[in-house]
Structure 1
């Protein structure tokens, strides 16, 4: 009788530990919507939550919009009030999967991967494909991903008065160091 109870408990514990996720709350997202010859439009958020399930390659990320900081306070104010409407749409969420991911194959050398997922931003949702470089150093996994999105795809308004100063195509980079 005890064996029939103990065996399933041991198997269940293996399942729980194999689904263990690793995370950080200090990932960095940087975006740039600059147009040459004008003031750089560059925002950085260093308090981004990033979660990885090493067994499946599934990832999720959450960034608070008001966490983005700019060189000029006025630019930050316009970003939050006029463009991102961060009181109405306070966060950006990405959920996806790293294609052909196997944490056992990670080394100290960066390997290229493809991430496919869905980005929720400004009340809209879009599928995203992003390239990523991933490495493991000891118990740390580092993921660096670059991709671009169009502000217009997410209904982010750029007034015609300053359209020549902002690029609709926004370059995004995320750096996550998971332990």
Structure 2
């Protein structure tokens, strides 16, 4: 018998001062049996950092051809493709061909830094790709906030992020590894 996903519900209140975006979002997330709470919380953080009324959770782990999150326009074209973790470089290259903007939120420890060292040359060729890194201590602090039903407040200002919930708060600053080339 297959192990089923665990459902998490998050009421997310986003105050993104950097973008002037203020909204509440109700998220229902399926945590795949192979997914850690840390990764689940990084997905929620990725949502908060890019919050938009059309941003949606995608198939992610259970689907080979979908990201963690994406935003589509009214025609179904992919405006924004958001991955979390350390995907294969080919997955990101394919995503860059399918979406206007691709974002990766890498996280973890030395594995992420080694992955970046191995892939940054190839990834630099993708002009619509942004890569940010979330250090391990930030991930541990985020994972400590996880609950099956949670209310989280996320404040973003000057690139710094404060996530607060019933179990405490986590302060973090994603490190920018790659930014898209400016449009001419």
TM-score for both structures, normalised by structure 1: 0.33
Larger Rg computed on CA atoms = 1
Q: Which has the higher strand share?
A: 1
Structure 2-normalised TM-score? 0.32
